[in-house]
Structure formats: structure tokens, C-alpha cells
Amino acid sequence: MPDALSAPAAPHTIRREDYRPPDWLVPEIALDFDLDPERTVVRSRLTVARQGDHNLPVRLDAQGLRILRVAVDGAPVNYWFEEEVLKVPVNGESAVIETEVEISPRANTQLMGLYESGGMLCTQCEAEGFRRITPFPDRPDVLSRYQVKMTADKARFPVLLANGDPVASGESEGGRHWAEWHDPFPKPCYLFALVAGDLVANRDRFTTRSGRTVDLGIWVRDGDLERTDHAMASLKAAMKWDEEVFGREYDLDVFNIVAVADFNFGAMENKGLNVFNSRYILADPDTATDQDYDGIAGVVAHEYFHNWSGNRVTCRDWFQLSLKEGFTVFRDQQFSADMGSRAVKRIEDVRMLRAAQFPEDAGPLAHPVRPDSYIEISNFYTATVYNKGAELIRMMHTILGPEKFRAGCDLYFDRHDGQAVTCEDFVKAMEDASGVDLTHFRAWYSQAGTPKVKARLANGGDGLTLHLEQEVPATPGQPAKRPMPIPLKVALMDGDTGKAVDERLIIFEDASAEVALDGAPARPVLSINRDFSAPIVLETDRSAADLAFLSGCDNDPFARYEAMQQLMLDTLIASVSSGAGDHGPVIEAVRRTLTNETLEAAFIAEAVLLPSESFIGDRMAQVDPEAINRAREALRADLGTELDDLWRGAYAASTANRYEYNPAAKGARRLRTISLGYITAAGADDAAELAMRQFDEADNMSDRQGAMGVLVNGVSAERDAALAAFYDRYKGNALVIDKWFTVQALSTRDDAPAEVEALANHPDFTLANPNRLRALVGAFSVNQRAFHDVSGRGYRFLADMILAEDKLNPQTAAKLVPPLGRWRRFDHGRAGLMKAELERIVATPGLSKDVFEQASKSLA
């Protein structure tokens, strides 16, 4: 009897151009699970239908399954294996294929397929985990109606959930019970889910705009129930918002969410049964920061929004991933903007894009938003597919305007409901509904690399002209690029009055352009890429004085923030190269921002924050981690000292707040901890004491973690006391202990690499939990100065961790590789050490294809 347990063959590349429609469809599937953590038996009954004229067998993907039985129309059949595909010959146009397989959820450390987490059984199928549960054509363009029956020990697994609606349940022998769920909506197998566990629910109801009642449940372990209210409120807000803004209504009678502790990423949008990493569900003021609260609202909304953008209309193949992810990220960004401060949300989204996507686009793993090839699809759940993908949708929204964009969305959902489609289908719907020609825009889907735009104003005989030039850098496999249509929101700011003149949208399509600007004031200052209208790197010849001016008056909040960032960046880069810079203009601009009473605290907090060390590095020809750290710390110290009274004033102003969760209170807390950071940077004698008081008296996690984060970078008795007190207070709460690891992994002290190595030996550190691994190792790898310690110990540590994790969980291991792939950006010595670690990884026998792909491409 052949098993699908054999090792996979050498990694091979899957290409978008090779897409062929499936030879067999599976309109119906009935699954019967005999659940047990050690040994689960899965019986499946597939109704298969031949598609097209061919004699090919049915291909069923099967990975790590022990095959017990395969039958066609009730009779045994001579099936065979080719790599990890079970081939079943079928004679007629349709048939019923039955399979029976055995799997072990407990042995599943990859957390893909059916696995055990914290005593419960749960599934993760996207992208290709369903093949680890039962033989099936595991591709998103095979849509089936699911009937699922689960039987399990009633005492250990009193709750049995699956997609769709519950239809029946009962008792069986030996203390077991069963439940059956039906999902009326055909779906690809990546959206299948089941959960069995000893769970309790926060239950609520939502009435849709057409008057249907939906039963909502957020399922958690017993002690966690009181930390689910924010997730529930977010879910209801998201359901309402999607009706109002996108006209999308929920379609089943129940919507369940389950929180699990061991999860490879944030959450999963399975039809009617979302499964979440518990960090995106559980929150109360004592254990979760404002950022955690925002993350929960954003991810709960994101997964809910997938019900239309992803589930009702799904992807034809995995190259189209951004069809659902880019669009859904855009939708969740718009939702969060509407729930809080639009300006601050835009700043946060751009910061994230620049921190994660720009480096990806500029490195060896660069790929288009719609990739052309992959070895392992899990490696393509990237910032490019998600966040740059969202920027593409946003650009279409900008070019079409909100009404036509909405008409395009309506047409897309209407035209493709129940189908598996492509990014091209989305763009076509936008074009058809709006009448706007997006032919050139499609280059954003196919060309990788962040466009660089140079912009300058020139005053000639004919008046004022805006000169634009663009260049799309070469990326792996794409040496030469066409110019891209770049939507640029532009205005002139009047240097005398501070008022905006001639605000307009320019679609800059060619390699260069000259745009005449009318009605220019006597002293015009260019405000460009307002609201970050295009995901580009911009270069202008604006002086420090121009930038300082814009930072004080630009009426576009993003442009105002951006002017300050550019001023800071220019100052820091000058300091790094010359060893000393003129801090005066930054100090004055920050002073004006801090004393501007018309600005909200949350905006001020963003505006006064210096660019991160990595972001400064990204803008330099070669990254010098030590020099960047010195320059940034020097500017921080000067800002702290020169503006001491203002920082203390801002600090005191927000101290009176008792905990409330609303945008104003959040902003005040953020500004408070940032002020504490500057007071500390100035070397004030009372800084550690102030931080310790904040730590001790905090009535919320933002303040407590903020204080600890400030203390951790210094040398003081308070530092040790805070770390010990924090650990003691929260031991046993994994999500909070993750923060304890992260805060130390991000330390700016010289001993950070040694501390991180020691923490990897802490009894609470484990490779089995992806959150814990990311909290320590993931955070350390973005701590630029510590990770790039000239000794290379940071690189060695990361490579050791990747190799150890790869044995358990390849998907999560592979996510840690990209920081090593940035070797070209560093000096010869560091580059050599980084490459040596990548080479060591690639040479390791038994490497997963996940890590192999990331490490080998990083070396190329």
C-alpha cells in the first residue's frame, strides 16, 4: 500500500504562464473526521466531474497522509503516486471517489493542516495545507460544497465547529459525540476549517441591513473570555462598515472566530469560521497596548472583509494572491482610517510599507505584486503582495475617484460572485465601470521595484514648471523596465501666506515630463506625493528651509509629516557622512510642532519621531550601522536637551489621563512615552526615576511597556527592576511575555546581541510557538545595530535559529531569512559574514523548500 509519506523531490519552480484549468472538478465533498490528537481518521467522499475532453486521471494532492483506502464508485481502484500526487483513474464523466486516511495532529509541528494547539484541534489550510488532511485537488480554482461531520471525545472536545451552519449533532459510544456542519457556498479547499476544543464563547448578534440575524461567537479558552470584548466590538463595526462603504452584506446565519495560541501568521478567513492567532483577539487594558488594540480591530476587520474579497470571489491560482490580499488590506486600511484618525493611519501604513516592502523591492527577493514564479507559495505572502498590492488598489481609487471606484467594486463582485478569478479581472471591472483606460496601469502588477521620482520646480520665461523624471530600478529577472503611470497629488504652498494653491492630481506616465503650473505665488514651495498618492521614492531639491516651512503649514497632514521626516533624514544622512550635522532646523521644526495647539497629539507624536535606523540605512549607498546609530542618538540627545521644557510639558499634560480607549487618549499616551524617550535621551538625572514611576503607576499596558522600552536602553537599577517586575507580573500570559522578549531584543545597548543569545536559552523560549520565535528572533533581526554587530554573531545566531526552526516549521523559519539577504547593502566584511551564513543554510542537508528558496535566492 503506497503512502504519501515519502520525501518530496528536489524543489521545482511553478510558473504563472503554465496555468491550466483543472481536468476534474469536485462540486461536492463530504468529510467525516474521527478526531483524536494522536490518530485522526479522515474519510472523504468526492463527487468528481470531468472537465473537457481528455483521458487523464483525477489528481489528488496528498502530503504526509497514511492512505487506508481508496475506492471509485464503491469499488477498489488501482491508484498510484507521482511525487505527492495521488492519481486515480476514472472512466466515466463523473464518479464518487472515497478515501480514508490517517493523520497525527499532535505530530504536526508545521501548523499546516490539522494540528493540536493548547489542547484543542484546529486547521490551517491556506495556501496548501488541505492536502495534509485528505487527498484533494488542492488548488483555489476547484470549488466545492462541503458537508463535514466530526466525532470526538466529548469531555476533551465539547465544542465542534466547522464552516457554514450547524445542521445536526448527537452522542456516540464511548463518551464521544458528533456534530455536522454544512456550508452552502462553494469554496476552494484553502477555506476549509474545523475546530474541536474545550472552549467558551463571547456571543453576540448582528442584524444585517436586509434584516437577517447573524449569531456571532468568539471562542477562547475559559480564562480568556473577558479579553474578547474589543474583538467583538471590532467585528460588529466591520460588518456595519462593509455594508455602508462597500455595500457588502454577510451571507450565513453564524459567524465564528476561534483564538489559538500556535499560529503561523495573524489569522485566517475560513468561510464562517475564522481562526485567529490569539494575539489578534485577546486584549484588555492591563495586557494589551493601544497598538495591539488597533491591530485587533484591523485584523478582525480584514478577515471579515475577506468574506467578499477572497471567499465569494476567490483567486484562480496563487499568483493572483494580491487579488484578495491587496484589495482586503486596502479595505481594512480604509476601515481603520474611518474608525480613528485618517492622517495618523496613513502615516502608520506608509511607515510599515517603507519598513517592510521597500527593502523587499530593493533586494534579492523582489517580485512583482503578481509574481511570475515561485518554488513555495508560502514565501509569497509578502509585504509586496499585501501592502504594495493595497497601494495599487489605492492608486486606482485615486485615479478613478471614490464613486467610480465603488462602481468598479460593485461590478467586480457582481460579475465574479462564486468564481475564481485573476488580478486582470479586477482591473477590467474597474475599467468597464469607470470608462477609464488602465492599460498602462497594469505595469504596476507586472513590474517589481520601487519607482524613483525626481521632482523640481523651475521658474522659466513661461512661468513655473514642474520637472519630473522617473526610473524603475532593475530587479531579479527584470533588468529593464517601462515607465509607470504614477498618480501624484501636487500643490504649491504659498511661502508668504502658508496657503495651498493649485492642488491637483498629475498622472505622470513617461520617463520625464514638464507640467506648467498656473497661478503660482511669488514664493512657491512644492508639496508633492501628498497623502503618499504613489508608493515611490521621491527626490526633490527642496532646501531645509522649505521642508521646515512645509512641516509647519502644509494642509495635507501626510505631506506635513513627510516634510519633517525628509528634513530629519537629510540632517541625519549629512551627519553620518560628515560626522557632524546642523541640528538647528530640525530642533526648530520640532519646537513649532510641539507648540502648535491645533494639532492632535497622535499626529504630533508621529511627526516628532526620528526615522528609524533601518530607514536611514535604506537611503544610503552603503549602510553603516554604527555611524547611523551615533548620528541618530546625537540628534535625539540634542532634541531632548534643547526642548527639555516642551517634552516635560507634553509629558505632564498627558499624565493626568486615566485609561480610556479612544483616539485622543491613545494619542496622548503615545506622545507621553515619546516625550519620556527624549527626556531620557537628554541624559536627565531624573529620567530613570520618571520612567520607573510611569512603569509602576501605569493603569494600562501602553504606558507600562513604553516605560520599560525606554528603561531597557539604559543602564540603571530601574532597568533591572522593571524587567523583573514585568516578568513576575505576567508570567503565564504568553502574549505579554512575548513583549518582554521583544523589548529586550530591540535594546540599543552594546550588549543586546549577548542578551538575545541568553534569552534564547531562557526556559520560556520555545521554537514551537511562532509568536515567541518572532518576539525574540524576528525582533532582533530588525534591530539594525545589534543584528549587524561587526563580529557577525548576530548573523550566526539568526542562521542557527532558522536551521533549528526549519526542522519543525519551515514556513515560519523561511520568514526569518530576508534580513540575511540584505548583504549587498553592507560593507565587505559584514557582507561576507552574512553570505557565509546563507551558504551554510543552503548547504544543510534536509532543508525545506521554503528555506531553500529564500536562502538560495538571497545569495544569487
Minimum CB distance to Zn ion, residue 303 (Å): 7
Among left, alpha and beta (phi > 0; psi -120 to 50; other), residue 272 is: left
By CB under 5 A, which span of 28-36, 53-61, 136-144, 321-329 interacts with Zn ion? 321-329
Site for Zn ion in 418-437 (CB under 5 A): none
Nearer to ligand B3K, 302 or 370 (CB): 302
> Is the separation of the CB atoms in 216 and 200 below 8 Å?
no
Q: How many CB atoms lie within 10 A of CB 860?
A: 8
* Angstrom distance (rounded) from CA 795 to CA 800: 9
Q: With contacts defined by CB under 6 A, how many residues of the chain interact with ligand B3K?
A: 12
The partner in contact with residue 556, picked from Zn ion, ligand B3K, none with C-beta cut-offs of 5 to 8 angstroms by kind, is none
Three-state SS string over 780-840 comes to HHCCHHHHCCCCCHHHHHHHHHHHHHHHHCHHHHHCCCHHHHHHHHCCHHHHHHHHHHHHH
The partner in contact with residue 493, picked from Zn ion, ligand B3K, none with C-beta cut-offs of 5 to 8 angstroms by kind, is none
Contact call for residue 268 and ligand B3K (CB under 6 A): yes
Q: Which of 151, 287, 378, 533 binds ligand B3K (CB under 6 A)?
A: 378
Nearer to ligand B3K, 269 or 837 (CB): 269
The partner in contact with residue 642, picked from ligand B3K, Zn ion, none with C-beta cut-offs of 5 to 8 angstroms by kind, is none
Q: Which of 265, 319, 603, 730 binds ligand B3K (CB under 6 A)?
A: 265
SS3 150: strand
Minimum CB distance to ligand B3K, residue 769 (Å): 17
Minimum CB distance to Zn ion, residue 328 (Å): 5
DSSP letter (8 states) at residue 272: T
Q: Which residues contact 336 (CB under 8 A, 6 or more apart)?
A: 294, 297, 298, 301, 345
Contact call for residue 273 and ligand B3K (CB under 6 A): no
Pairing status of strand 66-72 against strand 75-76: antiparallel
Q: How far is CA 848 from CA 331, 378, 592, 805, 842, in A?
A: 34, 12, 54, 10, 10
* Angstrom distance (rounded) from CA 358 to CA 356: 6
Minimum CB distance to ligand B3K, residue 350 (Å): 20
Phi, psi (rounded to 5 degrees) for 15: -115, 140
Q: Which of 381, 405, 426, 603 binds ligand B3K (CB under 6 A)?
A: 381
The partner in contact with residue 265, picked from ligand B3K, Zn ion, none with C-beta cut-offs of 5 to 8 angstroms by kind, is ligand B3K
Q: Which of 269, 554, 806, 837 binds ligand B3K (CB under 6 A)?
A: 269
Q: Which residues contact 91 (CB under 8 A, 6 or more apart)?
A: none
Residue spans of alpha helices (H) in 160-258: 229-246
The partner in contact with residue 126, picked from ligand B3K, Zn ion, none with C-beta cut-offs of 5 to 8 angstroms by kind, is ligand B3K
Q: With contacts defined by CB under 5 A, how many residues of the chain interact with Zn ion?
A: 2
Nearer to ligand B3K, 262 or 837 (CB): 262
For 620, the grid coordinates are 544610503
The partner in contact with residue 741, picked from ligand B3K, Zn ion, none with C-beta cut-offs of 5 to 8 angstroms by kind, is none
By CB under 5 A, which span of 167-175, 241-249, 325-333, 428-436 interacts with Zn ion? 325-333
Minimum CB distance to Zn ion, residue 385 (Å): 10
Q: Which of 269, 303, 562, 837 is catalytic?
A: 303
Minimum CB distance to ligand B3K, residue 219 (Å): 18
Minimum CB distance to ligand B3K, residue 305 (Å): 9
Element (H, E) at 546: helix 544-553
Site for ligand B3K in 284-343 (CB under 6 A): 302-303, 306, 325
Q: Is 588 a catalytic residue?
A: no
Amino acid at 514: E
Nearer to Zn ion, 307 or 614 (CB): 307
Residue nearest to ligand B3K (CB): 126
Amino acid at 582: D
By CB under 6 A, which span of 115-123, 224-232, 261-269, 786-794 interacts with ligand B3K? 261-269
Minimum CB distance to ligand B3K, residue 217 (Å): 19
- What's the start-to-end Cα distance of the chain, in Å? 42
Among left, alpha and beta (phi > 0; psi -120 to 50; other), residue 48 is: beta
By CB under 6 A, which span of 66-74, 267-275, 534-542, 609-617 interacts with ligand B3K? 267-275
Nearer to ligand B3K, 126 or 290 (CB): 126
The DSSP code sequence of 383-438 is HIIIIIHHHHHHHHHHHH-HHHHHHHHHHHHHHHTT-EE-HHHHHHHHHHHH----
Q: Which of 36, 61, 100, 126 binds ligand B3K (CB under 6 A)?
A: 126
The DSSP code sequence of 321-371 is HHHHHHHHHHHHHHHHHHHS-HHHHHHHHHHHIIIIIHHHHTSTT---SS-
The partner in contact with residue 378, picked from ligand B3K, Zn ion, none with C-beta cut-offs of 5 to 8 angstroms by kind, is ligand B3K
Please report the beta strands in 13-119, taking only residues with DSSP state E, as ranges in sequence order. 14-15, 24-34, 40-50, 58-61, 66-72, 75-76, 80-82, 85-88, 94-103, 113-117
Amino acid at 736: V
Contact call for residue 127 and ligand B3K (CB under 6 A): yes
Nearer to Zn ion, 374 or 381 (CB): 381
* Angstrom distance (rounded) from CA 231 to CA 218: 8
Minimum CB distance to Zn ion, residue 706 (Å): 29
Residues interacting with Zn ion, by CB under 5 A?
325, 328
* Residues annotated as catalytic (active site), given as ranges: 303
Residues interacting with ligand B3K, by CB under 6 A?
126-127, 265, 267-269, 302-303, 306, 325, 378, 381
